[in-house]
Amino acid sequence: MENKNLEALAAECATCQRCALGATRTNLVFGTGNPQADLMFVGEAPGEQEDLSGTPFVGRAGQLLDKFLYAVDIDRKDVYIANILKCRPPKNRDPLPEEEDACIGYLREQVKLIRPKVIVCLGRISAMRLIKPDFKITKEHGTWFEKGDFLMTAVYHPAALLRDPRKKEDMLEDMKRIKAKLDEPGGVHG
């Protein structure tokens, strides 16, 4: 995967059959947004609307994410959004560890190409894979972690907020802290 750009990586990913999901997808859901974004969101896997459109976070959960971005004055066009898995699991079930293992290399390459300053995990599954295996979303959402060159945090997955609207206030506070981190003088690590 040397010397690729995002388009070449997406083209390679489009032919992937490393796990059974490659055979069942309608569309590859590679990622979308600004390829030079300072802020990258990473969810777990595409849902039905994403599978149909080929774009991450366009269903009800994505529309809710857009509202939170708008509320803290972050333009969706300025961020990059991807998932660990690039293909939808049947009936939107949680990704299997072997599916994550088969797909994680694509996400790593996306991160290398985009070089965001901040990576925000959308939900527990993404946080457990990218931040630490025992991540507890209810306790640790909004907590900052330094991982290599990146500042990382996790927020509730927007789908969880649709199921439990009481968590929306926590999400808004987390998003305000993310925006403040991006706006720090001298950059995120400044």
The DSSP-derived string for 139-187 is HHTT--EEETTEEEEEE--HHHHHH-GGGHHHHHHHHHHHHHHHTSTT-
Structural domain includes residue 187: no
Structural domain includes residue 190: no
| pLDDT tens per residue across span 118-135 | 999 999 999 999 999 999
CATH number of the domain within which 165 lies: 3.40.470.10
Cβ neighbors of 152 (< 8 A, separation 6 or more) are 118, 119, 120, 121, 130, 131, 144, 145, 146
Question: What Rg, from alpha-carbon coordinates, does the chain have?
Answer: 16
pLDDT of residue 187: 60
Structural domain includes residue 1: no
Structural domain includes residue 79: yes
pTM: 0.95
The count of domains in the chain is 1
Structural domain includes residue 178: yes
Structural domain includes residue 189: no
pLDDT of residue 159: 96
Structural domain includes residue 13: yes
pLDDT of residue 4: 77
d(CA 190, CA 182): 10
Structural domain includes residue 53: yes
pLDDT of residue 190: 44
Query: Which residue positions in the chain have pLDDT lower than 70?
Result: 1-3, 186-190
Provide the residue range defining the domain that includes 148. 6-182
pLDDT of residue 186: 67
pLDDT of residue 74: 98
pLDDT of residue 185: 81
